Amino acid sequence: MLDSEAVKSKRATGVLQGQRILVLGACCGFGRSISRALGASGAQVVASDTNAKGLNTLKAVVPLPLKGEPKDALRRIGRAWGETRLDAVLNLMPLRHPEQIDLNLAVLQSLVQGFMPALSARDGQIISVVARPDQALEVASGAMAPALSSAQAAFADTLKRDGLSLNMVTVGEGAVKPAHTAVVGLLAKTLGPLTGAELRL
């Protein structure tokens, strides 16, 4: 649903000025549009995806292709990244693989394990975006948000004292613009010091 929607969103220039944000799963439609919005808001966008050719079509981003299994690639990249500045990870893999619950749980765990040193140093955050299915009978897609929410709650409770927050935005049909607003609000921390939260749009 969100993969097919690429909308232009106007943001206040500078609200994310100086931030470095890793957008994981950037080659989906929402990934392309939110990357533009983050860049327009002053952030340096590092765009990552398994689709290396797709990354090359994105403008004004630093491309970071994932080679091999995403969970393994993220651990390798995280170790190499070390404590280099990173303010946030926007995890769009649930949009890229909306029915692969095990893959997305593994990706979330790899993000925490791989990038915690960099994120914790700046009170950083991991934000996951999940699409709610259009049809109630789409069981696999419908189970994604509860599964990630449960994993996120466990991580958030344990890691908040280490300066790492985890939040999730679940998006229904036609809620792309509100999703942009929610993501930027979380990244700019204008919504307060949230962790373990699920914003339903």
Q: What is the pLDDT of residues 98-132, one digit of tens each?
A: 999 999 999 999 999 999 999 999 999 999 999 98
Residues 186/123, Cβ–Cβ less than 8 Å: no
Q: What is the pLDDT of residues 158-188, one digit of tens each?
A: 999 999 999 999 998 777 889 999 999 999 9
Could you give the domains of the chain? 12-30+37-66 (no CATH), 72-81+108-201 (3.40.50.720)
d(CA 46, CA 166): 19
- Helical ranges in 41-191 per DSSP H: 52-55, 70-81, 93-96, 101-120, 139-142, 144-159, 176-188
130-141: string of b/e by CB count within 10 Å (b at 16+)?
bbbbeeeeeeeb
